[in-house]
Amino acid sequence: MSTAYEPLHGADDVSPAPESLDIEIAVTRRILDETAALNIHDHRDMLKAAVALNCRVRGLLAALDAERGEGQ
């Protein structure tokens, strides 16, 4: 039996243009600081952390690609 779901990020999703690499790193550090104190035994906290960190990793990688001139 399968259940319907919506993926966190689909192949057709368009990510916004990344900020500069320095800004993306600063925002990623802030998210890491904000999620560090969340309760690992709380499903809602872990879901919040996973989504926030997934978004930050995507932004960070997009900024790295942009800095390298990739994807243009």
Residue 18: strand, helix, or coil: coil
Q: How far apart are CA 22 and CA 56, in angstroms?
A: 13
| Residue 9 forms part of a structural domain | no
Does residue 54 form part of some domain?
yes
Number of structural domains in the chain: 1
Considering the entire predicted model, what is its pTM? 0.72
Burial classification of residue 22, based on how many CB atoms lie within 10 Å of its CB (0-12 exposed, 13-18 middle, 19 or more buried): exposed
Residues whose CB falls within 8 Å of the CB of residue 33, separated by 6 or more in sequence, listed in order: none
Name the token pair of 31.
Answer: 């998210």
Place of tokens 């320095």: 22
pLDDT single digits (tens) 13-70:
666 777 889 999 999 999 999 999 999 999 999 999 999 999 899 999 999 998 888 7
Q: Examine residue 2 and state whether it is found in any structural domain, yes or no.
A: no
Q: Is residue 29 part of a domain?
A: yes
